[in-house]
Each structure stands twice: as structure tokens, then as C-alpha cells.
């Protein structure tokens, strides 16, 4: 399942209990201030007369921060609240109940409780989490989804449908901003099977209770296509831009969107996959739920031919997403910044 993957990285994926967290040089010692703000984009008129203006705003965000937040996005806000409710309800279950859904060496889907020391100059990963494939259907294992809370499975099914539709609406306008037909990025991510790989993960952080160590998910760029992040009201996401860490204020009825490495590769560097990290709060729980819309595993991703010419040579080598994910991203481990995509550069 994990060929040639280092034990520590394997533990990060599976969630190995019993490791301790320790101080490290990358942990902030107090509030972070920044001169930048991640843009908030209203999608209300995306399918109407405002499409060109909204597209320009999205393109500007993708070309600079690689991140933007969206409101009036078309996903049922009651469904968003319900997913937060049932996910947090699962994490609050007794440990023995959650252990029924624990990940195993042969299966990365399910629940994990991790206290992983990620190493020098990297933040720690210390959280409860669950991770599931939602597509392709051949990898979707609803039998591994919690039965408690009772509404968990139906909520997840509906959320998967609506999050996928939002991701594809965004990919459509992003394609147009690259001067391409609206279906281009979606088709490239889906590959010949017509079915992209999309997954969901929930990270549940307990309060860190200290100013010295705010454990979280280390500095990294997302390896896949496009990420839709659903947050609760506890801040913790930070985006690296011009050597500053920008704190992202959660929007309960909105999503934080970011380009992954495969979008940077397809756009030949025009749209940026930016480093970011997830932090625990000092005085309260925090939960974040990213939905990842990624390429089909066996599909080769390379700069789009339409964006490559003598003046704009290809910046990246092509590779299947499976190769990229396991042999570049997984081997390097969470907390390796943009080292993954640097290894694909021509």
C-alpha cells in the first residue's frame, strides 16, 4: 500500500499513537501580524453577468496568494453546519468507539489519533483526524464511515456531492482565466476515466494550553488539484506569502480555497500552490475539514500544451499523480514546504 515509504511518514499518514510532541523552532510564540489579507470573493453572480469580474478576482488570487475565500458559493450552509456538528460529535465519542474505525497498515481510510514529532524546523502534527476517499467509487468505503452520530453517513454523502460541484464550478472559471475552454482543468484532472480522485479529511485539535508550543500541521503545499476548506470559528490556518505568515480568519458560511501542486503544474506556474500550516488554538478546540479534488491516480499531469511555447517553456516534468503523491509527497512527509513540487521542475 505504501511502497518505500519511510516509517515516520507512514506513521503520519496512518496516525500512530504514543509519540510525544516537543518544542521546535518553527512554532510561533505569540499572535501573528501580517500586512496582507487573503481575499474574500462573492460568487453570487458567478453564473450571471458578474462572471468576468469574479473570474478576474479569482485569477488574481491564484496568481499571487494561491488562496482565496468564497461566500455565496451555492453549497447549502445548513449542510456545512451539519457536517461540522456530526464530525465534532464523532471526535467527542469515547476512545473505544472511535477505535472501531482506526486506520490500519493496509488501509489509510478511517480514524487516527496522532502525536507525531515531525522533526527539526517543522511543526508537529498532533490531532484526531479521519480520512476517506469519496471518489472513485471503487475506493469509497462507506462501511468505514462512523455510524454514530446517526446522521454522519447521509451528511457526508450530500456534502461530497455539493463540494464536488463547487470545486468544478471554480475549476471552470479558472480554466477560462487561463484563456482555455471552461471544462479544461476538470477534464485534465479526471483523466480518461472521467473520474477525479476526491477525498475528505477532518482535523480535530485539542487546545494547546501553552504559548510556547502550538502544535499543528507543518508547513506544506497541497499535492493535489484544488482544496475546499471548511473551518469552525477557531482561527489556525496560516498562509506563507513573501516570507510572512498570513492568518486566515474563518468564515462559518464560507470556504477557504487553495490551488494544489497539480494546478500549479497544469497552469505552468501561473496559478500558485502556496505553503501553509494548521495551528492548534491555545484556549479552545479547533476543527478543519478539507475536501481535496485531485487527479485520477493513474493520469499523467504536465503543463497544458496550450500554455507552453517558445516564450513560455514547460517548467515542470510530467508524472502520474500516483507517482507524485507516493514518491514525492509521501516520502518527503508533511512539513516539507514546497520541496515536493521543486523536485518536478525541469
CATH number of the domain to which 163 belongs:
2.60.120.330
SS3 163: helix
132-166: burial string, b at 16+ Cβ within 10 Å, e else = bbbbbeeebeeebbbeebeebeebbeebbebbbeb
Q: Is residue 272 part of a domain?
A: yes
Sites in the chain below the pLDDT cut of 70: 1-34, 114-127, 211-215, 328-337
Structural domain contains residue 49: no
pLDDT at 263: 98
Q: How far is CA 91 from the centre of its chain?
A: 20
- Give pLDDT, residue 135: 94
CB of 267 closer than 8 Å to CB of 273? no
**pLDDT reported for residue 212:** 58
pLDDT the model gives residue 215: 55
Domain tally for the chain?
A: 1
pLDDT (0 to 100) of residue 121: 36
Q: What's residue 21's pLDDT? A: 37
Cell numbers found for residue 339? 520541496
What is the per-residue pLDDT across 224-269, written as a single tens digit (0 to 9) for each?
999 999 999 999 999 999 989 999 999 999 999 999 999 999 999 9
pLDDT for the residue 309: 96
How high is the pLDDT of residue 333? 63
Cis amide prior to 149 (ω within 30 degrees): yes
Residue 226: how many other CB atoms lie within 10 Å = 29
In a domain, 325, yes or no: yes
Q: How far apart are CA 258 and CA 22, in angstroms?
A: 29
| pLDDT score at 302 | 97
Q: Is residue 92 part of a domain?
A: yes
- Distance set, CA 129 to CA 113, 204, 254, 277 (Å): 6, 6, 22, 16
Rounded distance between C-alpha atoms, residue 87 and residue 300, angstroms: 34
Whether residue 23 lies inside any domain: the answer is yes
Rounded to the nearest 10°, the torsion over CA 131, 64, 214, 91 is -20
Q: Does residue 35 lie in a domain region? A: no
The answer to whether residue 46 sits within a structural domain is no
Domain that holds residue 172: 7-30+57-342
Torsion of CA 201, 59, 299, 221, to 10 degrees: -50
Residue 306 resides in a domain: yes
pTM score, two decimals? 0.88
Amino acid at each position: 500500500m505504501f511502497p518505500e515509504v519511510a516509517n515516520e511518514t507512514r506513521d503520519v499518514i496512518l496516525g500512530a499513537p504514543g509519540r510525544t510532541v516537543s518544542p521546535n523552532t518553527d512554532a510561533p510564540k505569540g499572535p501573528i501580524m501580517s500586512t496582507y489579507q487573503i481575499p474574500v470573493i462573492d460568487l453570487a453572480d458567478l453564473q450571471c453577468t458578474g462572471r468576468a469580474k469574479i473570474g478576474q478576482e479569482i485569477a488574481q488570487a491564484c496568481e499571487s496568494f494561491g488562496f482565496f475565500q468564497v461566500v455565496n458559493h451555492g453549497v447549502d450552509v445548513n449542510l456545512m453546519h451539519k457536517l461540522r456538528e456530526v464530525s465534532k460529535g464523532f471526535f467527542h465519542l469515547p476512545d473505544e468507539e472511535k477505535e472501531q474505525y482506526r486506520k490500519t497498515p493496509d488501509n489509510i481510510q478511517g480514524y487516527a489519533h496522532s502525536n507525531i514529532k515531525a522533526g527539526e524546523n517543522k511543526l508537529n502534527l498532533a490531532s484526531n483526524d479521519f480520512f476517506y476517499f469519496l471518489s472513485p467509487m471503487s475506493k469509497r468505503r462507506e462501511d468505514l464511515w462512523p455510524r454514530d452520530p446517526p446522521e454522519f453517513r447521509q451528511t457526508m454523502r450530500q456534502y461530497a456531492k455539493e463540494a464536488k460541484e463547487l470545486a468544478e464550478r471554480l475549476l471552470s472559471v479558472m480554466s477560462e482565466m487561463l484563456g482555455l475552454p471552461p471544462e479544461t482543468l476538470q477534464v485534465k484532472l479526471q483523466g480518461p476515466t472521467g473520474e477525479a480522485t476526491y477525498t475528505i479529511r477532518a482535523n480535530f485539535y485539542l487546545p494547546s494550553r501553552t504559548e510556547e508550543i502550538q502544535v499543528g500541521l507543518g508547513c506544506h503545499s497541497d499535492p493535489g488539484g484544488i482544496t475546499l476548506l471548511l473551518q469552525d470559528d477557531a482561527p489556525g490556518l496560516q498562509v506563507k506569502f513573501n516570507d510572512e505568515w498570513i492568518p486566515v480568519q474563518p468564515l462559518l458560511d464560507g470556504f477557504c480555497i487553495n490551488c494544489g501542486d497539480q494546478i500549479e503544474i497544469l497552469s505552468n506556474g501561473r496559478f500558485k500552490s502556496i505553503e501553509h500550516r494548521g495551528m492548534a488554538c491555545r484556549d479552545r478546540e479547533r476543527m478543519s475539514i478539507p475536501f481535496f479534488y485531485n487527479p485520477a491516480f493513474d493520469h499523467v499531469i504536465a503543463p497544458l500544451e496550450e500554455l507552453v511555447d517558445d516564450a513560455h517553456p514547460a517548467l515542470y516534468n510530467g508524472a502520474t499523480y500516483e507517482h507524485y503523491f507516493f514518491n514525492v509527497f509521501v516520502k518527503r512527509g508533511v512539513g516539507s514546504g514546497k520541496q515536493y513540487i521543486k523536485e518536478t521542475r525541469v
